């Protein structure tokens, strides 16, 4: 690191960072590049040495690694472990990296060979169950969302550079939604995971009349049982709720429990 700038009179570093992708759509990385209005300020915070989405050059002497995507192949495990070895800090970028994301939907079938035959036919393909980064390496920080919210990333990266603590909201999306005086989507007949999902997205979806599907994972002390009671009182479909709980992987435990109940299990 080289100290070329100051913050409140204290020299601050410009860390070398790399951005990497595993199995993903690379939409989280694209979010950063799409932020034209503050992109140059963001780039001034760090020295990017590896970012396939935005540059040809690539180096392995990075200090902070931002990794998007879930792990679905053996070679990705090896690549991830190499990234972990090179980096001082590893940041899981987006729902796929944090929870498995939409990729983990294939896990619910319980028969990976059947899934591969249905998708790829007889074509040989290396594909295993989708897992988050933390299933294979130590992750220092998670940035939630599908896709990530670029303003949140800029705030978090600024805190990392300044050595300040990164604190995610402990309250659910519902609080951000109510603060915007939105009509509750339950009143519009839509099951919504806002009551149990970690805030920080500024009620991005619900402000546009789209129910929350839980891409940011569970809020601390999320009361899933009360959410199920609300859905039951409003006579909404539990199957629709299950679709939302299963989608991004953050509520995998709650989804498994509800699925068993719907099948008549314990």
**DSSP-assigned letters across all residues of 200-247:** -S-STTGGGT-----TT-BPTT--HHHHHHHHHHTT--HHHHHHHHHH
Question: Is the model's pLDDT at 124 over the cut of 50?
Answer: yes
* Mean pLDDT (whole number) for 107-115: 91
The verdict on 118 and 190 lying in the same domain is no
Euclidean distance between CA atoms 194 and 51, whole angstroms: 33
Give the separation between CA 64 and CA 179, rounded to whole angstroms. 35
Confidence of residue 142 (pLDDT cuts 50, 70, 90): very high
Mean pLDDT for 42-61 is 90
Task: Calculate the CA dihedral of residues 142, 251, 172, 156 and round it to 10 degrees.
Answer: 10
Cα distance between residue 87 and residue 94, in whole Å:
18
Give mean pLDDT, residues 111-116: 92
Instruction: Give the H/E segment covering residue 256.
Output: helix 252-262
Residues 14 and 144 in one domain: yes
Q: Which two tokens stand for residue 79?
A: 């690549």
Per-residue burial over 6-18, b = 16 or more CB atoms within 10 Å of its CB, e = otherwise: eeeeeebbebbbb
* Model confidence at 266: pLDDT above 70: no
The confidence score (pLDDT) of residue 2 equals 47
Residues 187 and 224 grouped into a single domain? yes
The percent of residues in the chain predicted with pLDDT above 70, rounded, is 95
Chain segment 171-226, per-residue pLDDT in tens: 999 999 999 999 999 999 999 999 999 999 999 999 999 999 999 999 999 999 99
Does residue 20 or residue 151 have the better pLDDT? 20
**Higher per-residue pLDDT: 10 or 3:** 10
Average pLDDT over the chain reads 92
- Per-residue pLDDT at 49: 96
Residue 265 pLDDT class (50, 70, 90 cuts)? low
User: Is 148 inside a domain boundary?
Assistant: yes
The residue out of 137, 162, 187 marking a domain boundary is 162
Say if residue 238 is in the same domain as residue 129.
no
pTM: 0.91
User: Is 80 exceeded by the pLDDT of residue 6?
Assistant: no
CATH of the domain at 65: 3.40.50.700
Residue 67 lies in a domain: yes
pLDDT-derived band at 8 (thresholds 50, 70, 90) equals: low
**Lowest-confidence segment of 70-84, 94-108, 151-165, 242-256 by average pLDDT:** 151-165
Does any domain span residue 168? no
Q: Which residue has the higher pLDDT, 2 or 138?
A: 138
The last residue of a domain, from among 162, 186, 209 = 162
pLDDT at 225: 95
Considering the domain architecture, whether residues 145 and 208 belong to the same structural domain is answered as no
The residues near 266 (Cβ < 8 Å, ≥ 6 apart) are 260
Residue where a domain stops, chosen among 162, 185, 217: 162
167 located within any domain: no
CA dihedral 19, 52, 130, 261 (to 10 degrees): 70
pLDDT at 263: 87
Q: Which pLDDT does position 3 carry in this prediction?
A: 45
Let me know whether 11 and 128 are in one domain: yes
Q: Which residue has the tokens 């999320």?
A: 222
* Domain boundaries, position 143: 3-162
Q: Are 102 and 96 in contact (CB under 8 A)?
A: yes
The predicted structure's pLDDT at residue 10: 66
């Amino acid at each position: 690191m080289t100290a070329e700038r100051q913050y409140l009179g204290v020299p601050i570093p410009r860390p070398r960072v790399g951005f990497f992708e595993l199995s993903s759509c690379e939409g989280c990385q694209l979010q950063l590049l799409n932020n034209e209005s503050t992109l140059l300020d963001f780039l001034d915070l760090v020295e990017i040495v590896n970012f396939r989405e935005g540059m040809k050059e690539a180096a392995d002497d990075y200090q902070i690694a931002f990794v998007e995507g879930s792990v679905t192949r053996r070679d990705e495990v090896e690549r991830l472990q190499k990234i972990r070895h090179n980096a001082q800090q590893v940041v899981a970028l987006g729902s796929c990296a944090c929870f498995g994301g939409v990729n983990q939907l294939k896990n619910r079938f319980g028969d990976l060979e059947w899934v591969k035959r249905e998708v790829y036919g007889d074509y040989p393909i290396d594909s295993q169950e989708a897992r988050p980064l933390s299933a294979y390496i130590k992750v220092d920080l998670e940035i939630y969302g599908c896709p990530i919210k670029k303003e949140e990333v800029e705030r978090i990266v600024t805190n990392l550079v300044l050595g300040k603590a990164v604190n995610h909201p402990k309250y659910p999306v519902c609080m951000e939604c109510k603060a915007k005086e939105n009509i509750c989507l339950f009143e519009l007949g839509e099951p919504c995971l806002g009551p149990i999902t970690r805030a920080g997205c500024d009620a991005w979806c619900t402000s546009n009349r789209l129910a929350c599907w839980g891409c940011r994972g569970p809020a601390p002390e999320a009361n899933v049982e009360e959410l199920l009671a609300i859905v039951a009182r409003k006579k909404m479909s539990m199957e629709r709720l299950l679709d939302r709980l299963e989608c991004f992987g953050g509520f995998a435990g709650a989804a498994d429990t509800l699925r068993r109940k719907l099948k008549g299990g314990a």
